[in-house]
Structure 1
Amino acid sequence: MSEEKKQKPINFRDVSTCESTIQMLQKMADDGVANAFQRAADMKPCPIGADSACCKHCFMGPCRLNAKDPYSKVGVCGATIDTIGARNFARMVASGCAAHTDHGMGMVDVFREVVRGNISGYKIKDEEKLRSVAKSIDIEVEGRTAQEIATDLYEELERTYTQVEGEIPFAKRVPPKTLETWRKAGIVPRGAMREIMELMHRTHIGVDQDYENIVKQCSRTALVDGWGGSMVATEISDILFGTPKPVVAGVNMGFLKEDHVNIIVHGHEPLLFESMIAATNDPAYIEKAKAAGAKGIQLLGMCCSGAEVLARHGVPHAGNFLSVEPVIATGAVDAMAVDVQCIMQALSTVSACYNTRFFTTNPRCRIDGAIHVPFEEHHPEACTNKIVDAAIDRFQNRTAKIEIPRRKDMGVHGFSHEYINYMLGGSFRASYVPLNENIINGRIRGVAGVVGCTNPRVKQDYVHVELVKELIKNNVLVVQTGCSQIALAKAGLDKPDAAVMAGDGLREVCETVGMPPVLSLGSCVDNSRILIACSEMVRTGGLGDSIADLPVAGAAPEYMSEKAICIGQYFVASGVYTVFGVTFPVVEGTKFHKLLFEGLEEQGFGKWGFALDPYEMARMMIDHIDKKRMALGIMGERERKLFSMEDRRA
């Protein structure tokens, strides 16, 4: 059991809306096992650090500035609150960008080895996606084999990370007017390594001390994530493992099975999970599990690894970030395997309390107390077989008391850009025209991307769910990724019958098309699908010439990581109004704060927003959407005709 000091009692219904998580938190409390909610209650955040009013970038400090009177003093070197705030913010962006681009570069490495024939465990599953991605960056596809196209594609996409001059390949996908704004500001990304390196250099003591100049490189670095690292990761995953199409799949802890060997994969890279799917479906292992007394093997996901295979294969998802400790408390998890990102160190301790076999698999993420089994893409079975063997052994030697919540939530997942295109126009008329037309005629007010994590500083899932309910009630179509997707799935918002909660216009569109008012797009790197959708809305016409013209908004209402800051900045730099909750690491009332929340929009970009209350957040986003509609001249009453199939054929 946990050796932490006696903790303050908390009411778990005050910290989560997830019934399964609440049930397991109570069990953990009864068992004397600590959890993130309890640790958050016992750990008061540093107010100076929360506002980014402190600087630890050299050893003359740390310097603490007064957020209530930000210009009353400066750091030892003379750095102002604006310089310090910009440096701190920029380093968050650099770290978040590094996480996503390292993931993306890993996918390029595997893609290269698949194309060269050095890896046999993976292959190109979606040749149509291969050709469309290649064509989008001007690689010739006509009359060429998949092998020839793939060879050119990986060589081109490698430039996303390694080139030092020029523009990243996917800059070709950016709407021309948006790209013109970037070029004018000097922020078109060159290559991820160059941008991250330069940003870290600029924020070193005694280098860049102009907050506006720092923000330019900050935007450039963020853009190489959204339009580079993350977009490459998503596109290669689709090429290798298949582009998602809507699939009915389940979410919640009720999908654990007491009479099965239960294995959970948690993290962010799809390679481990895809190989685990193969291993757990191996007839030899199924028979081995049955010989141990189990009826079979149940594989489930957590966090973004789980979101990818939920969308791509319909593998059940056990819960989002803040449910990852409570799910182990069920006692039914025989093994948990993790790769990178959003992996709590406490999982090793909690797993030991319930005799769950806990594995790290990636050299970037090792945890004291965990069993490390290296995952090697050329021979993935060497890792996955050990995990399955250990899970079967744990099943037949279970000692933990089993308590599985009964809650199961079904929904529709897997709305890739390609499927949305098909859904709106069919095989022969695939297009965003129906979406744009219904925005123009007012049936759909606009589009909102609601994404991101869960954070123990706010009530788990509450802000996500209430925000989205308010948005769809006001005819705003919602697309979402990451842990937000699981929060909304548990609330039943990604089912077609959730259209009854939408406003009249959005409901009519949803019922006609047969879609939910909330479209689930996948993991956090799949935010790039939202960027592609925005570009397609611009290309389709009628809603302005740049992403900044669109009646769209974004939100990360319960974010918790530096990756989220980077995601937010690349949406802002792309032209999207982006609202965050929980806290915002900038001192209000400073010139730097004003630049992020007002000045960037005046320069032709998007802007930041912040709110704690979900209804206030929804109002801010809707007001922005209405402002964009007003600028486009589409605020007035218009004929609202939803075209029948006969009309569309005509």
Structure 2
Amino acid sequence: MLNIRSIDPAALDLAKKADKDGIETVWDRYEKQQPQCGFGSLGLCCRHCIQGPCRIDPFGKGPEKGICGATADVIVARNLLRQVAAGAAAHVDHAYEAVEALKLAAEGKIDYPIADINKLKAIATGLGIETESKEPNVLALEVVQVAYEDMGNHQKRPMRWVSAHAPKQRLEVWESLGILPRNPDREIREAMHQTTMGMDADPVNLVLATAKQGLVDGYGGLKLATDMQDILFGTPAPVVTEANLGVLKEDYVNLIVHGHVPLLSEKIVQWAKTLSPEAEAVGAKGVQVAGICCSGNEVLMRQGVPLATNYLAQELAIVTGAVDTMVVDVQCIMPSLGQIASCYHTELITTMPIVKIPGATHIPFTLEHADEAAQEIVRKAIAAYARRDPNKVHIPDYRAKIMAGFSVEAIVGALSKLDADQPLKPLVDNIVNGNIVGVVATVGCNNVKVAQDIFHVEMVKELLKNNVLVVATGCSAHALAKAGMMNSEGAEKYAGESLKVVLTAIGEAAGLGAPLPPVLHMGSCVDNSRIGDLVTALAGYLGVDTAALPVAASAPEPQHEKALSIGTWAVTMGFTTHLGVVPPVLGSKQVTELLTAGLTDVIGGKFYVETDPQTAAHGLIEDICKKRKALGLDQ
């Protein structure tokens, strides 16, 4: 049965083939789950002890408390804290692996050369480490030592990655609230303890603990991972490629990297080029690597590898019949991929000890043997190409040009063409004079409850039309790339007149001969820290709190716990943070009011839930305009 809801023409095309081939997709499974549990959707069920599960009647006619006495407010707050802690744990685990990789690289124990000495020095300087006359490997080990000390901090002092990189005004706010994280593992452990049976029953205290988990994610996960990866693999600079499933090629070996950690995918890209002659020997023209989710974003930003698709259409990539191998690492990987791959010639390869899927081939990835694993994976893809059935191949002819690689360093570099001494000044001046009304960061996932990509695309169209600059990461970046919003033509088509003038001026000054894209691709999920760094730099330049800036955030189609932890971090930064899918908190009036209003007075930011794209866009614009007025920009 054809149940797909998507605005991506490639996905709609392939859904018909999936239906014909008898393939069950995520949309089919969603329909089979209807109606979904109303208690769970409201956050009113608790399974934290084995006396339950307990659930509260939202209409007040049934149980008002759980067996232990927990109210709806307590249950909802505890569930939210656990979800945000889980999201933070995913990013902290990612960051730890990147720190470990830099250590082994600096010690010469693995074949990962340090690619960006300037970024290494900048991070070291920010941490208060002397850089003069030090060899890169020595300096890298000192940076690693600080990171490891943060991971094992047993003192009351906050993490140095927080105190060194966070806006000073924000640090004062967080300290006054008692939410400065000391050590990410300790804080995540404490959150799990705090939410067990017989523990915290104060919804306000639980929501503040949730805010602390946002900071754990923002600095112990996002910021730490991005910094380590830039040092190892290079800080991204603008690259041009294409996005959508049409990037797959019938006459090439198609190898898709999917997941979030670039430690292996960088090696796969390297060996795909090296082993191209072996692909040619079996009749292919070479090896085409394409990306799904944030592993795709990582190798796009640094290597120019095309994007295949985002989260919801990962199954449809295999349905093309042209994917020879899909290799996955961690996060956002559907367990259904193994069964779907078995219907085609595609070899699904898992690589991490915490991600195994029945039916998949497991090739263990270790830093010490990364080259061997990458070679084996590429050779399996080449072997699979020989088994491809041409009668099952259907590649939709949809792809869009994309310009990516907008790290903070790349943005500042482009702006320096206009003002070498004060590169942030042209951006600030254009915000002050209203050419740019404000900035919105769109982040996060697809959610099967929403037609794929529609919220990302329709909301951003409205923001751009109203001269709001948009920056994007993660699956949101995929959606907007596929929709043609990440190229110069997109500026002509979607940007309001004054925004278009600014994008044209910067693009011409940077030597593009065309406008910058109206949506700047800033990277993967962990690269949300780049947005934080840019906002921190702007606040520092102006001498104001980040909460005062005409900046907002949005997760138009959140589905993962990581989206909630990223959103919570954005709120702690003082931003109004939009969610386009209602999170499971509406069962508690107190928690809902805290998240959407009450926190503003103490932390500066708030969540804003709106399920209509145009209404959401205008709500964010209204919020930005209030901040402009408070700064005296609009009188």
TM-score range, shorter chain: over 0.9
Check the 8 A contact 2:345/2:387 in 1, yes or no.
no
Looking at structure 1, the residues matched to 505 and 63 of structure 2 have their Cα atoms a distance apart, in angstroms, of 60
Matched, 1:472 2:473: no
Looking at structure 2, the residues matched to 535 and 66 of structure 1 have their Cα atoms a distance apart, in angstroms, of 44
Matched, 1:600 2:591: no
Check the 8 A contact 2:43/2:587 in 1, yes or no.
no
Looking at structure 1, the residues matched to 64 and 587 of structure 2 have their Cα atoms a distance apart, in angstroms, of 16
- Residue 139 of structure 2 is matched in structure 1 by 149
What's the secondary structure of 1:422's corresponding residue?
helix
| Amino acid corresponding to residue 195 of structure 1 in structure 2 | E
- Residue 459 of structure 1 is matched in structure 2 by 451
Determine which of 142, 148, 160 is the counterpart of 1:158.
Answer: 148
- Residue 89 of structure 2 is matched in structure 1 by 98
What's the secondary structure of 1:21's corresponding residue?
helix
What's the secondary structure of 1:201's corresponding residue?
helix
Determine which of 209, 217, 232 is the counterpart of 1:240.
Answer: 232
Check the 8 A contact 1:91/1:203 in 2, yes or no.
yes
- Over residues 488-538 of structure 1, what are the superposed CA-to-partner deviations in whole Å (9 max), with x where a residue is unaligned? 011111112322322222111011111111110010010011111110110
- Residue 10 of structure 2 is matched in structure 1 by 20
| Amino acid corresponding to residue 404 of structure 1 in structure 2 | I
- Residue 179 of structure 1 is matched in structure 2 by 171
Looking at structure 2, the residues matched to 350 and 72 of structure 1 have their Cα atoms a distance apart, in angstroms, of 43
Deviation at 1:197, TM superposition (A): 0.5
Deviation at 1:71, TM superposition (A): 10
- Residue 410 of structure 2 is matched in structure 1 by 419
Check the 8 A contact 2:253/2:284 in 1, yes or no.
yes
Check the 8 A contact 1:417/1:533 in 2, yes or no.
yes
Question: How has the CA–CA distance of structure 1 residues 143 and 338 changed in structure 2, closer, same or farther, with 3 Å as cutoff?
Answer: same
Looking at structure 2, the residues matched to 183 and 268 of structure 1 have their Cα atoms a distance apart, in angstroms, of 32
**Equivalent residues in 2 for 1:5-84, closer than 5 Å:** 9-10=1-2, 12=4, 15-44=5-34, 45-69=36-60, 73-84=64-75
Looking at structure 1, the residues matched to 61 and 558 of structure 2 have their Cα atoms a distance apart, in angstroms, of 26
- Residue 528 of structure 2 is matched in structure 1 by 527
- Residue 205 of structure 1 is matched in structure 2 by 197
- Residue 554 of structure 1 is matched in structure 2 by 553
Question: How has the CA–CA distance of structure 1 residues 594 and 43 changed in structure 2, closer, same or farther, with 3 Å as cutoff?
Answer: same
- Residue 639 of structure 1 is matched in structure 2 by none
| Amino acid corresponding to residue 587 of structure 1 in structure 2 | L
- Over residues 593-618 of structure 1, what are the superposed CA-to-partner deviations in whole Å (9 max), with x where a residue is unaligned? 11111111011330011011101111
Check the 8 A contact 1:556/1:579 in 2, yes or no.
yes
Check the 8 A contact 1:423/1:430 in 2, yes or no.
no
Deviation at 1:397, TM superposition (A): 1.9
What's the secondary structure of 2:577's corresponding residue?
strand
| Amino acid corresponding to residue 509 of structure 1 in structure 2 | V
Looking at structure 1, the residues matched to 136 and 551 of structure 2 have their Cα atoms a distance apart, in angstroms, of 37
| Amino acid corresponding to residue 561 of structure 1 in structure 2 | H
Greater shift, 273-282 or 72-81, is seen at: 72-81
Check the 8 A contact 2:105/2:113 in 1, yes or no.
yes
Aligned CA RMSD, in angstroms, stands at 1.4
Q: Which runs of 5+ in 2 are unaligned?
A: 508-515
Deviation at 1:547, TM superposition (A): 1.2
What's the secondary structure of 1:456's corresponding residue?
coil
| Amino acid corresponding to residue 88 of structure 1 in structure 2 | N
Deviation at 1:381, TM superposition (A): 2.4
Deviation at 1:112, TM superposition (A): 0.6
Greater shift, 434-443 or 610-619, is seen at: 434-443
- Residue 168 of structure 1 is matched in structure 2 by 159
| Amino acid corresponding to residue 596 of structure 1 in structure 2 | L
Looking at structure 1, the residues matched to 149 and 441 of structure 2 have their Cα atoms a distance apart, in angstroms, of 29
Question: How has the CA–CA distance of structure 1 residues 589 and 56 changed in structure 2, closer, same or farther, with 3 Å as cutoff?
Answer: closer
Q: Percent identity?
A: 43
What's the secondary structure of 1:480's corresponding residue?
strand
Check the 8 A contact 1:468/1:478 in 2, yes or no.
yes
Deviation at 1:359, TM superposition (A): 0.4
Deviation at 1:11, TM superposition (A): 5.0
**Equivalent residues in 2 for 1:244-323, closer than 5 Å:** 244-282=236-274, 285-323=275-313
Check the 8 A contact 1:175/1:545 in 2, yes or no.
no
Check the 8 A contact 1:100/1:225 in 2, yes or no.
yes
**Paired residues, number:** 621
Report the TM-score when normalising by structure 2: 0.96
Determine which of 328, 342, 357 is the counterpart of 2:332.
Answer: 342
Question: How has the CA–CA distance of structure 1 residues 88 and 11 changed in structure 2, closer, same or farther, with 3 Å as cutoff?
Answer: closer
Looking at structure 2, the residues matched to 99 and 594 of structure 1 have their Cα atoms a distance apart, in angstroms, of 28
Check the 8 A contact 1:99/1:563 in 2, yes or no.
yes
Deviation at 1:161, TM superposition (A): 2.1
- Over residues 159-199 of structure 1, what are the superposed CA-to-partner deviations in whole Å (9 max), with x where a residue is unaligned? 33221331112222212111100010011111111100011
Determine which of 505, 513, 516 is the counterpart of 2:498.
Answer: 505
Looking at structure 2, the residues matched to 43 and 616 of structure 1 have their Cα atoms a distance apart, in angstroms, of 29
Looking at structure 2, the residues matched to 589 and 280 of structure 1 have their Cα atoms a distance apart, in angstroms, of 52
| Amino acid corresponding to residue 628 of structure 2 in structure 1 | R
- Over residues 86-139 of structure 1, what are the superposed CA-to-partner deviations in whole Å (9 max), with x where a residue is unaligned? 1000000110000000000000011111111111x2111110111111111211
**Equivalent residues in 2 for 1:516-595, closer than 5 Å:** 516-541=517-542, 545-587=544-586, 590-595=589-594
- Residue 625 of structure 1 is matched in structure 2 by 624
Check the 8 A contact 1:71/1:81 in 2, yes or no.
no
Matched, 1:395 2:385: yes
What's the secondary structure of 1:380's corresponding residue?
helix
Looking at structure 2, the residues matched to 181 and 70 of structure 1 have their Cα atoms a distance apart, in angstroms, of 41
Question: How has the CA–CA distance of structure 1 residues 254 and 210 changed in structure 2, closer, same or farther, with 3 Å as cutoff?
Answer: same
Deviation at 1:75, TM superposition (A): 1.0
| Amino acid corresponding to residue 25 of structure 1 in structure 2 | A
Looking at structure 2, the residues matched to 431 and 75 of structure 1 have their Cα atoms a distance apart, in angstroms, of 57
- Residue 512 of structure 2 is matched in structure 1 by none
Deviation at 1:142, TM superposition (A): 2.4
Q: Which runs of 5+ in 1 are unaligned?
A: 1-8, 637-650
- Over residues 546-592 of structure 1, what are the superposed CA-to-partner deviations in whole Å (9 max), with x where a residue is unaligned? 11111111000111100111111111111111010122110266111
Check the 8 A contact 1:160/1:229 in 2, yes or no.
no
Check the 8 A contact 1:264/1:299 in 2, yes or no.
yes
Question: How has the CA–CA distance of structure 1 residues 71 and 217 changed in structure 2, closer, same or farther, with 3 Å as cutoff?
Answer: farther
What's the secondary structure of 1:379's corresponding residue?
helix
Greater shift, 165-174 or 327-336, is seen at: 165-174
Check the 8 A contact 2:552/2:577 in 1, yes or no.
yes
Question: How has the CA–CA distance of structure 1 residues 164 and 455 changed in structure 2, closer, same or farther, with 3 Å as cutoff?
Answer: same
Check the 8 A contact 1:311/1:413 in 2, yes or no.
yes
- Over residues 379-438 of structure 1, what are the superposed CA-to-partner deviations in whole Å (9 max), with x where a residue is unaligned? 112212222222111111223611111112111101001111111123943532211121
- Residue 318 of structure 2 is matched in structure 1 by 328
- Over residues 308-327 of structure 1, what are the superposed CA-to-partner deviations in whole Å (9 max), with x where a residue is unaligned? 11111110111111111001
Looking at structure 2, the residues matched to 241 and 386 of structure 1 have their Cα atoms a distance apart, in angstroms, of 22
Check the 8 A contact 1:70/1:590 in 2, yes or no.
no
Question: How has the CA–CA distance of structure 1 residues 391 and 624 changed in structure 2, closer, same or farther, with 3 Å as cutoff?
Answer: same
**Equivalent residues in 2 for 1:127-146, closer than 5 Å:** 127-146=117-136
- Residue 399 of structure 2 is matched in structure 1 by 408
What's the secondary structure of 2:375's corresponding residue?
helix
Check the 8 A contact 1:67/1:587 in 2, yes or no.
no
